[in-house]
A and B are shown apart, each in its own frame.
Chain A
Amino acid sequence: AQTVTQSQPEMSVQEAETVTLSCTYDTSESDYYLFWYKQPPSRQMILVIRQEAYKQQNATENRFSVNFQKAAKSFSLKISDSQLGDAAMYFCAYRSTYQGGKLIFGQGTELSVKP
């Protein structure tokens, strides 16, 4: 069975600085997808970025980028130029290629942004 682990329950960053959130996963599959979701206090789950395992190039979305290390089974999220609105719970998630919307989530990292 696949597992996703986020070892940082809480992180803090100064506004305008860069922060990296860690995620590791365990799987025996070769094809899969990885995601980072943001959950602000409103509880809405918002997709931040996704990575296809067959792609070597790291995904980027504006100030958000990932460092995908397939052999190490590591998938970290880097937030550049942090903004107050980035404060939220961040979840790393895994999906098998053939399992549809059956996401497996990590425990989450609470990110606070200091002005």
Chain B
Amino acid sequence: NAGVTQTPKFQVLKTGQSMTLQCAQDMNHNSMYWYRQDPGMGLRLIYYSASEGTTDKGEVPNGYNVSRLNKREFSLRLESAAPSQTSVYFCASSEYYGGVGEKLFFGSGTQLSVL
């Protein structure tokens, strides 16, 4: 049981390049999330998808777009990468958005450097 799988694990981009971070979960979860983690800070929510077919902005959405491709997959796209987007990106999923017993399962993260 793989849980939440993120690809790639590491990536180096030049300023202005674009790329897509992939995330897939095999737990049949309805909700998926993208967070970023910067040094000295906790994780901050970029975008989330409460259910298949919906996406919403989180705390720091600028410079990103997302696609909920199907129930399993939720991708994060950087259209024109900037050095300020250097960070570790985490994908997470949960069975139901806002449920009383909601528990988030996290992927192992993508280390992204923008030069």
Residues of chain A whose beta carbon lies under 8 Å from any beta carbon of chain B: 4, 9, 42-47, 50, 52, 91, 93, 95, 97-108
Question: How close is A23's CB to chain B, nearest CB, in angstroms?
Answer: 11
Report the bound CA distance from A99 to B45 in whole Å: 12
Residues of chain B whose beta carbon lies under 8 Å from any beta carbon of chain A: 31, 33, 35, 40-45, 48, 50, 58-59, 88, 90, 92, 94, 97-98, 100, 102-104, 106, 108-109
Identify 18 residue pairs between A and B in the complex whose beta-carbon atoms are under 8 Å apart, listed by A's number: A42-B108, A44-B108, A44-B109, A45-B104, A52-B100, A91-B43, A99-B98, A100-B50, A100-B94, A100-B97, A100-B98, A100-B102, A101-B31, A101-B97, A101-B104, A103-B43, A105-B43, A107-B41
Q: Using known A-B contacts A42-B108, A44-B108, A91-B43, determine if residue A102 contacts B58 with beta carbons closer than 8 Å.
A: yes
CB-based contact A93/B42 at 8 Å? yes
Closest chain B residue to A99 by CB distance? B98
Contacts A100-B98, A101-B31, A106-B42 supplied; 14 other A-B pairs, CB < 8 Å: A4-B42, A44-B108, A47-B103, A91-B43, A93-B42, A95-B102, A97-B98, A100-B48, A100-B102, A101-B48, A105-B41, A107-B42, A108-B40, A108-B42
CB-based contact B102/A101 at 8 Å? yes
- Tell me the dominant secondary structure on chain A's binding face: loop
CB-based contact B45/A100 at 8 Å? no
Report the bound CA distance from A29 to B14 in whole Å: 43
Residues on A with C-beta less than 8 A from B108 are 42-44
Residues on A with C-beta less than 8 A from B42 are 4, 91, 93, 104-108
Question: How close is A42's CB to chain B, nearest CB, in angstroms?
Answer: 7
Residues on B with C-beta less than 8 A from A105 are 41-44
CB-based contact B48/A102 at 8 Å? yes
